[in-house]
């Protein structure tokens, strides 16, 4: 008898097979047989073109961005190296030369 994977939501060992889905009788969670259970917890952050971003990537700004509390502007085409992905509304933490540390939204950058 093949062993079935535990429920990714509650870790119950009593999951059962239902066609092309697995079902947990304890928490009623359903998941696909093809789904990779390890990546379900991670949020994928993508750039303006839909490319997945990772820590350490280099991105380019696609729109002039005003720096709040300053008269500085981050110009279109500015390359930002070694980004860090963080949780929240502004999901990129970086350091821009000439301006300093900043938080950016991923919708205003593209992967280089």
- Determine the pLDDT at residue 2: 64
- Determine the pLDDT at residue 64: 96
- Determine the pLDDT at residue 41: 52
pLDDT beneath 70, residues of the chain: 1-2, 35-42
- Residues 61 and 89: their CA atoms lie apart, in Å, by 17
Cα within 13 Å of Cα(16), Cβ side? 5
């Amino acid at each position: 008898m093949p062993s079935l994977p535990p429920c990714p939501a509650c870790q119950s060992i009593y999951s059962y097979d239902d066609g092309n889905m697995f079902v947990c009788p304890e928490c009623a969670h359903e998941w696909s047989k093809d789904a990779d259970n390890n990546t379900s917890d991670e949020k994928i952050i993508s750039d303006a073109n839909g490319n997945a971003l990772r820590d350490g990537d280099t991105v380019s700004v696609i729109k002039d961005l005003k720096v709040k509390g300053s008269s500085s502007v981050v110009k279109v085409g500015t390359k930002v190296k070694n980004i860090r992905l963080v949780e929240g509304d502004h999901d990129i933490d970086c350091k821009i030369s000439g301006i300093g540390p900043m938080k950016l939204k991923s919708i205003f950058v593209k992967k280089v």
